[in-house]
Amino acid sequence: MFKSTITVALIAFTAYLVITLFMPKKREPLSLQQLQTAMIVDVRTPAEFAAGHFKDAINIPLSEVPSRIDAFKTDKLLIVYCRSGNRSGQAVKQLKNHGITAINGINQAHLEAIH
């Protein structure tokens, strides 16, 4: 009985450590002011962008991100988005490799909510 109690406690403690150390931290939602003053980049295709995009967003398709790194250099909050968050997540990683901080912060659901 004592061994099984210790085993359960160790498993629970290990699970706690994994969750707290390795799971991504949830960040606060972006405010309207942050969205209004941010540089917003849509990394979807030009056709997807033409079908609808955030006001004042610029379109730099994911395939062009490596060759257009300088276009991402800004003093503003940089938000990158796409339909699902997958392509924008890839773009954020590429930008990070070049020392540029960006947020993978919005997706198609957000886009539909404002239209």
Evaluate whether residue 19 is within a structural domain: no
Tell me if 91 is assigned to some domain.
Answer: yes
Domain with residue 71: its CATH number is 3.40.250.10
Q: What is d(CA 45, CA 52) in angstroms, rounded to the nearest whole number?
A: 11
Q: Which of the residues 41, 43, 65, 82 is marked catalytic?
A: 82
In a domain, 81, yes or no: yes
* CA separation for the pair 65, 72 (Å, rounded): 9
Per-residue pLDDT at 81: 92
For the question of residue 97 being annotated catalytic, the response is no
Structural domain count of the chain: 1
Whole-model pTM above 0.75? Answer: no
Q: Would residue 11 count as lying in a domain?
A: no
89 within domain boundaries = yes
**Residue 12 belongs to some domain of the structure:** no
Full domain range(s) for residue 93: 29-114
**pLDDT tens digits along 48-96:** 999 988 888 999 999 999 999 999 999 999 999 998 889 999 999 999 9
